[in-house]
């Protein structure tokens, strides 16, 4: 199973890269593309997304044909055609060009292994809460319920913040090589971490043309974990994949321009489309920056014929300043039913967040910014402008803007690394200079451990840091084996629904984002006078997208902990019982009472952490 998990995670990237590489070879008329893998990945991803959407639509007219089977054989055919084309291109490639990537790849791999080992201490499962809702959509795609809009696939998604492209790629890997879900996400997170470190090195190298700065930037990129909202390195989600691809793209664009090569318009269109589909808001900002850099590099002379570049930059910063000031005077409660207010952090909160994430390293930012400005190179200017724009967006008072730091952090790391390099390079004694870098390595490891401990602290359960318990994993296995493929509806507290729906593939009543009506019905269960009233309340709960022939009521430590919270918390989308909770003696008594009401509830499963009941349907009762 471990081997399957590893292969499945590799195929997430390898499948679109191989297909994209073949498409560029065939349709690109043999033109050589510098640093092509990011373009191959984008092209192959968009092509697979289109294939999956078309096949899903066609198979609606053939309901007896399984989408997963048709799509799997389509993938086999595409890979069979792509492999020889890529092999032929590899033979023609000058391998001397590839040797320059050995050091950054080795460095990134080594750092990723260290980070993964430290992070895994007392942490047997991933701590990415979002993986469950994304896995829910991947499960739907495997079943053939694919739509461009996420909200049409599952009621766990109430807002379309991105297309289903990300989830199609996850489903593609899992269809090709089925594997354990939690192990898959652990493996794919490792590869994501490795690539984020490599991206940090690549961007720093192209902006500063200094391998030492690139190495320091890679180390910073590895050990800095933003433990609030951003989560760049250790969360594999649409926003972090968008930022990763963006950094490789902008590095690729700068490298192509440096070589005085033409940047294909088709490539630019594909990259913009990919970024937008992967995450509408983060992708939009990334596209604006990417297009701005492209126009500056390739059409600067034409623009300067009509207006001065300096005036454009000044106008952008004036606009950013107005945006920043206005954000402090606009009421936020009208956005997303007031939830946005919870994600609007004050400047003091953001400074504390940066301080916790970076510690003393923040002192090197102004030094690096000034030193980079003194270089007076085109790439340095681009790096400074992009950093200041993203930094300005991040410190504004609009909700969710802290998410933009997922793009800005790569540029900040380059500047911090450059500032550190400038200071350390003034140490003339080689031994003391090496000691300075050793102190940097030891202290940044300490910063990572401190940040990790802070983030993990709310997930402590029986001497481990987890968001899902072994009991819940076993319950999910039972549900998948017993009710998989049925239209059963799983009902419990939002957190339990989120975890069990993802791991068992059984549909739930809204997952972690159950709407106000469902939450109200769940809350009313606590005032039910008897089991029949509780049963009637549960039968009123339904999925807004799918009909259900039976309801499964899951009661465990999380459920009772959620019911013991305040009504305001239970109605809030941002409140969850994040870590597993053991059953108390009072909880066991409540479960025993349910077992004694066979006319309303049928007991079907139990383990030390939870129990599952089938809810009797009133319509099937005999008068």
Residue 336 pLDDT class (50, 70, 90 cuts) = very low
What pLDDT shows up at residue 75? 96
HEC string for 574-586: CCCCCCCCCCCHH
Distance CA 446, CA 440 (A): 10
- Lowest-pLDDT range of 51-60, 88-97, 202-211, 492-501: 88-97
Say whether pLDDT at 289 is over 70: yes
What pLDDT shows up at residue 111? 96
Mean pLDDT of the 361-375 span: 90
What pLDDT shows up at residue 548? 74
What pLDDT shows up at residue 337? 43
| Sign of CA pseudo-dihedral 187, 188, 193, 197 | positive
Residue 309 pLDDT class (50, 70, 90 cuts) = low
Element (H, E) at 484: none
What is the percent of the chain with per-residue pLDDT over 70, rounded to a whole number? 88
Residue 493 pLDDT class (50, 70, 90 cuts) = very high
Distance CA 453, CA 508 (A): 32
Q: State how far Cα 53 lies from the chain centre.
A: 22
Strands 551-556 and 601-607, bridge-based pairing: unpaired
Mean pLDDT of the 174-183 span: 93
Mean pLDDT of the 112-124 span: 94
374 or 500, higher pLDDT: 500
Domain extents for the chain?
Answer: 2-298+331-457, 470-622
Element (H, E) at 460: strand 460-461
Of 189-198, 322-331, 380-389, highest mean pLDDT? 189-198
Say whether pLDDT at 29 is over 70: no
The CATH number corresponding to 470-622 among 2.60.40, 3.40.50, 1.20.1410, 3.30.70 equals 3.40.50
- Name the average pLDDT for the chain: 86
Q: CB atoms < 10 A from the CB of 38, how many? A: 24
Chain segment 525-579, per-residue pLDDT in tens: 888 878 888 998 888 888 776 667 789 999 999 999 999 999 888 888 778 888 8
Residue in this structure with the two tokens 């790096």, named with its chain if needed: 383
Say whether pLDDT at 399 is over 70: no
DSSP code of residue 614? E
Say whether pLDDT at 301 is over 90: no
* 106 within 8 A of 167, measured Cβ to Cβ: no
Residue 122 gets the label, from left (phi > 0), alpha (psi -120 to 50) or beta, of left
Residue 339 pLDDT class (50, 70, 90 cuts) = very low
Sequence length of the chain is 623
DSSP code of residue 163? B
* 236 within 8 A of 131, measured Cβ to Cβ: yes
What pLDDT shows up at residue 94? 62
Mean pLDDT of the 396-416 span: 84
Residue 442 pLDDT class (50, 70, 90 cuts) = very high
What pLDDT shows up at residue 318? 59
Mean pLDDT of the 266-272 span: 91
Say whether pLDDT at 486 is over 60: yes
Say whether pLDDT at 118 is over 90: yes
What pLDDT shows up at residue 619? 56
What is the percent of the chain with per-residue pLDDT over 90, rounded to a whole number? 55
Measuring CA to CA, which residue among 530, 534, 550 is closest to residue 542? 550
Say whether pLDDT at 47 is over 60: yes
Say whether pLDDT at 30 is over 70: no
What pLDDT shows up at residue 402? 78
Distance CA 13, CA 236 (A): 13
Of 48-52, 369-373, 538-542, highest mean pLDDT? 48-52
b/e 366-395 (16+ beta carbons within 10 angstroms → b): ebbbebbeebeeebbbbbbbbbbbbbbbbb
What pLDDT shows up at residue 334? 44
* 174 within 8 A of 4, measured Cβ to Cβ: no
Both structure tokens of 125: 């499962």
Tell me if the pTM is above 0.85: yes
- Lowest-pLDDT range of 319-333, 350-364, 399-413, 457-471: 319-333
């Amino acid at each position: 199973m471990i081997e399957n998990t590893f292969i499945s995670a590799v195929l997430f990237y390898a499948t679109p890269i191989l297909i994209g590489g073949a498409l560029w070879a065939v349709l690109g008329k043999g033109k050589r593309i510098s640093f092509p893998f990011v373009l191959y990945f984008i092209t192959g991803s968009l092509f697979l997304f289109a294939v999956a959407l078309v096949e899903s639509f066609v198979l609606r007219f053939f309901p007896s044909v399984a989408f997963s089977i048709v799509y799997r054989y389509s993938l086999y055919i595409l890979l069979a055609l792509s492999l020889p084309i890529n092999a032929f291109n590899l033979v023609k490639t000058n391998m001397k060009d590839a040797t320059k990537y050995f050091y950054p790849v080795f460095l990134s791999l080594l750092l990723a292994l260290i980070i993964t080992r430290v992070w895994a201490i007392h942490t047997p499962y991933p701590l990415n809460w979002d993986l469950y809702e994304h896995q829910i959509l991947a499960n739907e795609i495997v079943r053939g319920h694919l739509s461009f809009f996420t909200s049409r696939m599952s009621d766990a998604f109430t807002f379309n913040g991105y297309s289903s492209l990300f989830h199609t790629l996850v489903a593609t890997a899992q269809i090709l090589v089925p594997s354990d879900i939690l192990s898959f996400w652990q493996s794919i997170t490792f590869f994501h971490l490795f690539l984020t470190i490599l991206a940090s090195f690549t961007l720093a190298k192209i902006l500063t043309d200094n391998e030492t700065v690139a190495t320091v930037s890679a180390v910073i990129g590895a050990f800095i974990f933003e433990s609030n909202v951003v989560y760049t390195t250790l969360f594999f989600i649409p926003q972090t994949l968008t930022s990763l691809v963006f950094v490789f793209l902008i590095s690729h664009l700068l490298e192509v321009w440096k070589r005085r090569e033409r940047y294909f318009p088709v490539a630019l269109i594909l990259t913009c489309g990919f970024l937008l589909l992967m995450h509408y808001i983060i992708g939009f900002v990334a596209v604006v920056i990417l297009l701005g850099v492209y126009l500056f590099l390739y059409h600067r002379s034409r623009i300067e014929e009509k207006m001065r570049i300096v005036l454009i930059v000044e106008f952008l910063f004036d606009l950013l300043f107005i945006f920043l000031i206005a954000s402090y005077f606009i009421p936020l409660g009208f956005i997303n039913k007031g939830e946005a207010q919870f994600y609007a952090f004050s400047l003091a909160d953001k400074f504390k967040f940066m301080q916790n994430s970076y510690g003393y390293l923040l002192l090197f930012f102004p030094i690096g910014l000034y030193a980079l400005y003194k270089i007076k190179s085109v790439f340095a200017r681009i790096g400074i402008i992009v950093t200041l724009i993203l930094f300005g967006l991040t410190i504004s008072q609009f909700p969710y803007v802290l998410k933009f730091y997922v793009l800005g952090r790569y540029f900040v790391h380059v500047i911090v690394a450059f500032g550190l390099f400038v200071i350390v390079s003034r140490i003339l004694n080689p031994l003391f200079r090496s000691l300075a870098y050793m102190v940097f390595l030891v202290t940044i490891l300490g910063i990572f451990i401190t940040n990790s401990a802070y983030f993990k602290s709310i997930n402590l359960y029986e001497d481990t840091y987890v968001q899902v318990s072994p009991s819940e994993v076993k319950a999910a296995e039972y549900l998948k084996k017993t009710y998989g493929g049925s239209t059963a509806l799983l009902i419990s507290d939002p957190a339990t629904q989120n975890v069990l729906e993802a791991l068992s593939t059984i549909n739930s009543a809204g997952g972690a984002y159950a709407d106000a009506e469902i939450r109200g019905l769940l809350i009313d269960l606590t005032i039910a006078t008897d089991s029949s009233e509780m049963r009637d309340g549960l039968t009123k709960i339904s999925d807004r997208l799918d009909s259900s022939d039976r309801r499964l009521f899951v009661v465990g430590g999380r459920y009772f902990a959620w019911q013991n919270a305040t009504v305001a918390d239970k109605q809030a989308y941002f409140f969850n019982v994040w870590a597993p909770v053991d059953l108390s003696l009072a909880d066991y008594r409540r479960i025993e009472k349910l077992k004694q009401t066979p006319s309303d509830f049928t007991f079907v499963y139990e383990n030390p952490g939870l129990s599952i009941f089938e809810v009797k349907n009133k319509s099937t009762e005999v008068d």
